[in-house]
A and B are shown apart, each in its own frame.
Chain A
Amino acid sequence: MCEICGCGNGASPVRITRPGEQENHHDHDHPHSHDYPHSHGHHHDHTGDHSHDTSRQRLLRVEEDILGRNNLLASRNSGYFEAKGVVALNLMSSPGSGKTTLLEKTIIALEGKRPVVVIEGDQQTMNDADRIQRAGAPVVQVNTGNGCHLDADMIRQAVDKLDLQEDSLLFIENVGNLVCPSLFELGERNRIVIISVTEGEDKPLKYPTMFEHADTCIINKTDLLPYVNFDPELVKKYALSVNPHLHIMELSAQTGDGMEQWIGWLLDQKS
């Protein structure tokens, strides 16, 4: 078990790895980052010469945003991306919506048009990073262990392992989950939620926070529409009722249908 935070206790540590790279043992590349001076599990010592008057309780009004530290790191990431001329896109969805396939096809379609780099988030395995590398883009895999989302500090550490070129598109494939990732800003320019036609049309109603915080929504696997009971107009209506500003695109990453609209949109994204 990890001495500092107890994270070995049933949880796996976060690993940030490039394909082919030796996997290091836990070196505290961690979600709740321990690289800043805070005391964790410390036992306040009494070596100071202050008096110990237990009757004097004080109320401290702190009014501090709990996500403040993540948001601060996200703002730093965002500033870094802007300075580098990089557009970061946060891709979020349920598991199995086709995010990785969409990325593979996107990388191939953008070849020679715009540099692409990818950060892959999954609880375990290098599988997605290997797929992205085969598709031809530099990639870092973040394994969150039991963590259900990526946070801004993981992105900062992952970016350290990437050589970001001017005008790149940085795709961040978040952990498959429609709840938690919506709370954690990463420093992205645009949040993209992906839903596939094999899911229920009421996903936007069931997970409104995700759709409310997204900028763009992709309806994927449209090639399966003849075989499933899914009404794209209904899902659009629901999604827009949560977030009237949502930009919605329909496509099939598998067949390429609708991909030109997506690729055109990506090429239009200015840092």
Chain B
Amino acid sequence: MTNNINDRLMHELSIAISIVDSVINQAEIASADSVSEVELDIGILSGIEYESLEFALGVASKATILEKTLFRINRVEAVAECPACQHLYTPEGMFSHCPECNKQGVRIIRGGELQIKSLLVE
């Protein structure tokens, strides 16, 4: 571990701490003894660096019941809807043109996910 983990992790550490807190809370509600897997949906437009989040989860789960838990991160690809013709497409960025009608303007309907999907508990 580097001395300046926060310099490297930025907001991913806060996010990882939120995930660990929520999962422990959910596990307690379900009276689970252990959590073997946590499945996360993280959109590519959520502002999260996947590698940093994985590293941060390792840091945040240390000395908790999640220390040995496997965190499975699903990468959710982006889907945009054209505001003009409602065509659904994969945007190349925030400035894509609709492949159907060529209008500019992107309404992102998927890809911003930051969600704890499921837990595998015992």
Chain A positions near chain B (C-beta within 8 angstroms): 5-6, 9-11, 31-32, 38-44, 46, 48, 50, 52-54, 56-70, 145-149, 151, 179-180, 182-184, 205, 208-209, 212, 241-242, 244
Contacts and interface: CB of A to CB of B under 8 A. Distances in A.
B18 A32 contact: yes
Contacts of A32: 14, 17-18, 21
A208 B19 CA distance: 25
Contacts of A68: 22
Contact of B18 (A53, A56, A57, A70): A70
A66 B120 contact: no
Interface in B1-59: 3-7, 10-11, 14-15, 17-22, 24-26, 28, 30-34, 36, 40, 45-47
B64 A11 contact: no
B122 A146 contact: no
A145 B5 CA distance: 12
Contact of A62 (B4, B28, B119): B119
A44 to B, nearest CB: 5
B101 interface: no
Contact of A57 (B22, B36, B63, B116): B36
Contact of A38 (B25, B46, B105, B117): B25
Contacts of B122: 53-54, 56-58
Contact of B62 (A6, A39, A205): A6
Task: Describe A's contact surface by its main secondary structure.
Answer: loop
Given A41-B63, A42-B24, A62 B11 contact: no
A67 B95 contact: no
Contacts of B15: 66-67, 183
23 contacts: A5-B17, A31-B14, A32-B18, A39-B24, A39-B64, A44-B34, A46-B33, A52-B33, A57-B36, A58-B120, A59-B121, A60-B119, A60-B121, A64-B115, A66-B18, A146-B7, A148-B6, A179-B11, A179-B47, A182-B47, A183-B46, A205-B94, A209-B47
Contacts of B62: 6
B34 A59 contact: no
Given A179-B47, A180-B47, A184-B11, 18 more contacts: A10-B3, A39-B28, A40-B24, A43-B65, A46-B33, A53-B122, A57-B36, A57-B121, A62-B22, A62-B116, A67-B15, A67-B18, A146-B7, A147-B14, A148-B10, A151-B14, A208-B93, A209-B47
Contacts of A43: 65
A69 B22 contact: yes
Nearest to B17: A32
Contacts of B93: 208
Contacts of B121: 57-60
Given A38-B25, A41-B63, A179-B47, A66 B10 contact: no
Interface in B94-122: 94-95, 104-105, 114-122
A32 B19 CA distance: 11
A64 B30 contact: no
B22 A241 contact: no
B7 to A, nearest CB: 7
